[in-house]
Structure 1
Amino acid sequence: ATEKPGAQIDEATNLIYVFIKDDANLQQNLKLEDVFLEFVQSKKQVCTAKNIRRVTFSLATQRQFPIYYTYRKRLT
């Protein structure tokens, strides 16, 4: 399909990736899922205005696989 220059895109296409190095082992001390969710919810208007459809946090601790928390834009 051919698109005209300047045509608006209806779908949210932008993604944000946040990488956090966890030297203090925060994942053991805090419920980070709640912290990340609260942050993303507080930025809902900004994400909508900027057409952001997904925010992913990657938490890396030494000698462990990273943990991912992904929050997606709802269709409703």
Structure 2
Amino acid sequence: MVNFPKSAKSDIPICDLDFRNETELKRQLALHVKHFGGGQRVEIDTSASQILVDGVHKYNFSLMDPPRPRPSAAVMF
């Protein structure tokens, strides 16, 4: 999920990422931000959870686990 500073307009939708390591996370998130947020150079700082666009801190991000399906009470055999 990408969080926007209070002064920024929310123009980037929430994205659903599927990654195995930090490199994949950075690549997928950078592509998503570049597609919706513009800018030529997108850098992802995972230690500070920040997204820099053209060298300027534009966004913060946070990772959330997907919701788990609720167990069904009825068991079918």
Q: Note whether the superposition's TM-score is higher than 0.5.
A: no
Question: Which protein is richer in strand relative to its size?
Answer: 1
TM-score, normalising length from structure 2? 0.29
Question: Which protein is richer in helix relative to its size?
Answer: 1
TM-score, normalising length from structure 1? 0.30
